[in-house]
């Protein structure tokens, strides 16, 4: 676990990663809060907070008396969300830095292509 | 949330709590029950051997004289000292442990008192039975005295009483001393014995100066053996109350 | 949420030492609390006061709504095996597990047996002859298997190896999830247990200096590292928790930063490093890290 950020946020991200990666398919049940707590060795209240974060976002939903399930279309929505984040966290600073160094967007895409070929 | 805990939890009543302390005190019966009888048995066998040797060396004619001498045997007095140690350990070590189990000081003292009374009764009855056998077999056929030593009384009833009262005294006096230690550590015990010794010396001085030693002698002559032992109950009862009052404000230290 | 413990203005002094100094806090039901601080900070005294083993000089203690002193109704719901717990002289390990069920109404014998196996406790061994770690595991097992509504663990893992400590955390979480109860974990080794805690109480020189939700405490501090002049310029008038200086370099711990402040810091060529709970407490209690770890 990363020390600088709240654990429940990291738990939510872990679950999101599993949904994006397909380990947790849509309409399947996710492990219980207590199972998450035991697996990550964290307080169950913290795990619940992480799960609730995803419930609030509509990624998970509760089936009464059974447990938590991955919502229909959750994977697609998460990918969209992560792409937005990617743009904000990586692409924007990349362009800013490039502008500072006088790199044009054509040069930048060339660099990316070259990097891919290696 | 509260109701869930309440319903889930079965609390023990006062009698149950005190009984639990009794069980805790004898959780390892080896120390409080088996070991003392075992030692008593070994000492008895050793004595039996000695009596047998004496019996064979002095010849049948002089056995009665020797038997009179054996009346002053102190072979079974160690058991009272042993029980003092049992009482001290109970207060010094079982007490802090019992608090960890959520026992109150009051319940601990009451439970330990019940333990002391029960153990006193068991040993008094057991030793009285042995004394009766000793008596009826004329000293195990060898004129020996271990349970019928002269200071334990003349009849089985007297012996039962004296044994019982003596055990109670050693248990409660030992326990009371231990409470002084638990509450005020070594300094407290030292002070206690200094004060006790000072009082005894002062008493002796007063008696000597006023030439009143005779009064003490008369007192014991008048009250007799059984009566004198009965008077020890005063100290036993005082120890019982004092011990509780001291322990009530004691905190186990490490 | 129901309060299991309510303490107001509690003080206890030993001679001139203020072991517990005008302390007030509440403990809510069914949460895992960390009672953290250096050795000698007042943790054990505080727990002894809460369990009626010691007597307050000032202030008020309510446990399950009542005073715990000589109160069987309250004390029967508490399990508190001290780190320095003394046992009857003649006790073997088995005698502890024979007697514990008499005193804990919720005792789970099967669970205890499983734990005895987990920790490889020799039942026939005399308690006097146990190693430090084995002694700790007795406290851990009694604390877990007693399922007392209020359970204290006092430095539960002194002498336990890494495997045994993990076993303790796993069993605690597992059993706590199934049988929620109020747990107070007292320790000076914070990093390992940080993630288990829901709430943190930090005691230093008899005073509670942190009383906060564990999650909100996380990320409340950041260390700003860089050239001293740049660091000082960035820190400005912010509250400084801790300051270290080596030559021209400085490392200053300040309250957590938001995204724009972080961006400003990196623009100024400063490095930001996260501060763990343990580091945060060390810095708040003004102790050197080495001193802290050696205070056991």
Question: How many C-beta neighbours within 10 Å does residue A101 have?
Answer: 8
Q: What angle do CA C287, C292, C296 make, to 5 degrees?
A: 145
Partner-chain residue, chosen from C53, C88, C98, that has the shortest CB–CB distance to B89: C88
Q: Quick check: do C and A touch, 3+ CB pairs under 8 A?
A: yes
| pLDDT level of residue C179 (50, 70, 90 thresholds) | very high
Whole-angstrom distance, CA of residue C143 vs CA of residue C153 = 7
Contact C85, B98 (CB under 8 A): no
The architecture of the domain spanning C3-217 is 3-Layer(aba) Sandwich (3.40)
Is the CB of A100 inside 8 Å of chain C's CB atoms? no
Contact: chain A with chain B (3+ CB pairs below 8 Å): no
Q: Find chain C residues with C-beta within 8 A of B99's C-beta.
A: 51, 53
- Cα C123 to its chain centre, rounded Å, is 29
Whether the Cβ atoms of residue C127 and residue C85 lie closer than 8 Å to each other: no
What's the pLDDT score for residue B224? Answer: 87
| pLDDT tens readout for residues C192-215 | 888 899 999 999 999 999 999 988
Average pLDDT score, chain B: 89
Q: For residue A77, what pLDDT band results from cuts at 50, 70 and 90?
A: very high
Per-residue pLDDT at B152: 84
User: Does residue B253 belong to any structural domain of this protein?
Assistant: no
Task: Enumerate the residues of chain B whose CB falls inside 8 A of the CB of residue C91.
Answer: 27-28, 97
Q: How many domains does chain B contain in total?
A: 1
Find all residues with CB under 8 Å of B149, minimum gap 6, and list them: B71, B72, B73, B74, B75, B76
pLDDT digits (tens, 9 = 90+) for C17-27: 999 999 999 99
Phi, psi of A107 (to 5 degrees): -60, -40
**pLDDT given for residue B2 in this prediction:** 41
Å from C112 to nearest chain B CA? 16
Q: What's the pLDDT at A3?
A: 65
Phi-psi category of residue B152: left, alpha or beta, with phi > 0 → left and psi -120 to 50 → alpha: alpha
**Residue B5 in domain:** no
With a pLDDT cut of 70, the percent of chain B lying above it is 95
Instruction: Check if C195 contacts A (Cβ < 8 Å).
Output: yes
**Which residues lie closer than 8 Å to B110 by C-beta, 6 or more apart?**
B18, B21
Please tell me the distance in Å from C181's CA to the nearest CA on chain B.
Answer: 8
pLDDT at res. C287: 59
Model-wide pTM > 0.90: no
Contacts of C276 in chain A (CB under 8 A): 3
Interface of A with C in 69-98 (CB under 8 A): none
The stretch A41-64 carries a mean pLDDT of 93
Residue B8, domain member (yes or no): no
CB A43 within 8 A of CB C32: yes
Closest CA to B179 of B190, B167, B189, B171: B189
The shortest CB-CB distance from C72 to any of B24, B107, B252 is to B107
pLDDT tens, position by position, C87-146: 999 999 999 999 999 999 999 999 999 999 999 999 999 999 999 999 999 999 999 999
Q: Which residues of C touch A45 (CB under 8 A)?
A: 31, 198
Nearest to C219 among A5, A40, A49 (CB): A5
Residue A32 has pLDDT above 80, yes or no: yes
Q: What is the pLDDT of residue B5?
A: 44
pLDDT in the model for residue B4: 42
Distances (CA, A) of C285 to A3, C144, C242, C280, C281: 20, 31, 10, 9, 6
Q: Domain C221-274 - what CATH class?
A: alpha beta
User: Strand ranges (DSSP E) for C117-193?
Assistant: 150-154, 182-187
Q: In this structure, is residue B4 part of a structural domain?
A: no
Span B102-136, pLDDT tens digits: 999 999 999 999 999 999 999 999 999 999 999 99
Write the ipTM.
Answer: 0.88
Where exactly are the structural domains of chain C? 3-217, 221-274
Q: Is C180 helix (H, G, I), strand (E, B) or coil?
A: coil
The DSSP result for B205-249, as a single string, is HHHHHTT-HHHHHHHHHHHHHHHHHHHHHHHHHHHHHHHHHHHTT
Instruction: Pick out chain B residues at pLDDT < 70.
Output: 1-10, 60, 254
The pLDDT score that the predictor gives to residue C154 is: 93
**C-alpha distance from C72 to closest chain B C-alpha (Å):** 6
- Chains with 3 or more CB pairs under 8 A to chain C: A, B
Contacts of C245 (CB under 8 A, 6+ apart): C228, C251
What is the extent of the structural domain holding B229? 13-247
Give tens-digit pLDDT for C234-267: 988 888 888 888 888 888 888 878 778 888 888 8
The two structure tokens encoding residue B12:
């023990």
Of B20, B27, B100, the CB nearest to C81: B100
User: Mean pLDDT in chain C?
Assistant: 90
Residues 6+ apart with CB under 8 A from B152: B131, B158, B159, B162, B163
Structure-derived torsion over alpha carbons of residues C5, C7, C11, C14, reported in degrees to the nearest 10 = 0
- For chain A, list the domains and their CATH numbers: 7-74 (1.10.10.10)
């Amino acid at each position: 676990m990363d020390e600088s950020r709240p654990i429940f946020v990291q738990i939510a991200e872990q679950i999101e990663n599993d949904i994006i990666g397909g380990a947790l398919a849509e309409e399947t049940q996710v492990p219980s809060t207590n199972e998450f707590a035991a697996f990550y060795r964290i307080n169950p209240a913290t795990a619940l907070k992480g799960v609730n974060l995803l419930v609030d976002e509509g990624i998970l939903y509760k089936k009464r008396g059974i447990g938590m399930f991955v919502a229909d279309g959750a994977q697609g929505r998460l990918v969209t969300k992560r792409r937005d984040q990617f743009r904000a966290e990586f692409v924007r600073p990349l362009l800013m830095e490039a502008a500072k160094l006088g790199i044009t967007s054509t040069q930048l895409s060339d660099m990316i292509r070259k990097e891919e070929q290696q | 949330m509260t109701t869930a805990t309440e319903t889930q939890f079965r609390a023990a009543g006062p009698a149950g709590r005190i009984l639990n302390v009794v069980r805790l005190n004898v959780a390892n019966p080896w120390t409080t029950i088996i070991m003392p009888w075992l030692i008593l048995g070994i000492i008895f066998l050793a004595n039996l051997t000695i009596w047998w040797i004496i019996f064979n060396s002095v010849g049948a004619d002089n056995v009665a004289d020797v038997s009179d001498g054996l009346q002053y045997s102190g072979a079974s007095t160690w058991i009272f000292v042993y029980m003092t140690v049992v009482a001290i350990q109970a207060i010094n070590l079982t007490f802090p442990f019992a608090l960890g189990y959520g026992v109150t000081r009051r319940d601990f003292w009451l439970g330990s008192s019940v333990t002391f009374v029960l153990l006193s009764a068991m040993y008094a009855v057991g030793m009285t039975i042995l004394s009766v056998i000793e008596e009826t077999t004329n000293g195990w056929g060898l004129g020996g005295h271990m349970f019928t030593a002269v200071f334990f009384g003349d009849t089985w009833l007297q012996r039962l009483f004296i044994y019982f009262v003596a055990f109670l005294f050693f248990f409660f006096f030992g326990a009371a001393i231990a409470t002084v230690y638990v509450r005020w550590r070594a300094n407290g015990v030292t002070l206690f014995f200094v004060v006790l010794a000072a009082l005894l010396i002062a008493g002796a001085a007063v008696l000597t100066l006023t030439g009143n030693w005779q009064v003490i002698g008369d007192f014991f002559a008048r009250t007799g053996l059984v009566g004198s032992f009965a008077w020890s109950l005063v100290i036993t009862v005082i120890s019982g109350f004092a011990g509780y009052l001291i322990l009530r404000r004691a905190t186990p230290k490490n | 949420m129901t309060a299991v413990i309510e303490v107001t203005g509690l003080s206890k002094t030993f001679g001139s030492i203020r072991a517990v100094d005008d302390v007030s806090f509440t403990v809510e039901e069914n949460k895992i609390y960390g009672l953290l601080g250096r050795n000698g900070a007042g943790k054990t005294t505080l727990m002894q006061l809460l369990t009626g083993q010691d007597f307050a000089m000032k202030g008020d203690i309510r446990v399950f709504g009542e005073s715990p002193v000589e109160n069987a109704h309250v004390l029967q719901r508490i399990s508190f095996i001290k780190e320095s717990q003394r046992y009857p002289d003649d006790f073997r390990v088995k005698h502890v597990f024979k007697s514990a069920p008499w005193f804990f109404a919720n005792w789970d014998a099967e669970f205890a047996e499983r734990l005895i196996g987990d920790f490889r406790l020799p039942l026939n061994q005399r308690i006097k002859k146990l190693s430090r770690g084995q002694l700790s595991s007795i406290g851990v097992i009694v604390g877990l298997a007693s399922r007392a509504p209020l359970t204290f663990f006092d430095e539960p893992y002194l002498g336990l190896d890494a495997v045994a400590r993990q076993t303790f955390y796993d069993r605690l979480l597992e059993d706590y999830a199934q049988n929620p109860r109020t747990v107070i974990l007292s320790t000076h080794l914070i990093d390992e247990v940080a993630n288990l805690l829901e709430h943190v109480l930090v005691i230093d020189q008899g005073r509670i200096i942190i009383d906060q939700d564990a999650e909100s405490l996380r990320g409340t501090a950041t260390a700003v590292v860089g050239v001293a002049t740049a660091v000082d310029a960035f820190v400005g008038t912010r509250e400084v928790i801790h300051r270290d200086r080596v030559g021209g370099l400085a490392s200053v711990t300040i309250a957590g930063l938001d995204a724009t402040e972080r961006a400003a810091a990196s623009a100024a060529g400063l490095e930001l490093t996260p501060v763990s709970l343990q580091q945060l407490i060390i810095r708040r209690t003004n102790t050197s890290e080495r001193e802290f770890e050696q205070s056991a």
